[in-house]
Amino acid sequence: MSQGVSGCAAHEVGGRTMSALSPTPESRPLTPKEMTLDRARQLLKVQADFGGFYNANSAKLILSEVQKEHGQESVDSLIRELELQRIFGFEPGTRFEGGLVVGKQ
């Protein structure tokens, strides 16, 4: 390990000198992925397979993103397709915002 110009510790990794200030995956800002309908379907299937209170909350968050990006028709379609009414009690027409149920249209 050596001291760099700025006084920061540096070490060699795989032939490259890495500074202690080099961004690591943990320090890089997270960039949210777009919530596509396929991604939402995949995530909701996992929640539905587990069922239960905590998974219902996760499903609400996912449906909130679908609501924001794709609208009510897409939310209603996923509720029907994945039988979320039977599993979590979500009815078509239910609006989701910020992970909360905010009413029914």
pLDDT in tens, the chain (105 residues): 555 554 555 555 556 555 555 555 555 565 567 889 999 999 999 999 999 999 999 999 999 999 999 999 999 999 999 999 999 999 999 999 988 888 887
Contacts of 60 (CB under 8 A, 6+ apart): 90, 96, 99, 100, 101
Q: What is each CA distance from 11 to 19, 60, 71, 100, in whole angstroms?
A: 7, 46, 50, 48
Give the residue from 105, 39, 52, 31 showing the smallest Cα distance to 78.
39
* Total count of domains within the chain: 2
Structure-token pair, residue 76: 């209603």
Structure-token pair, residue 4: 């760099």
| pLDDT the model gives residue 3 | 53
**What residue numbers bound the domain in which 42 lies?**
37-104
Same domain, 53 and 26: no
| pLDDT the model gives residue 32 | 64
pTM of the model: 0.68
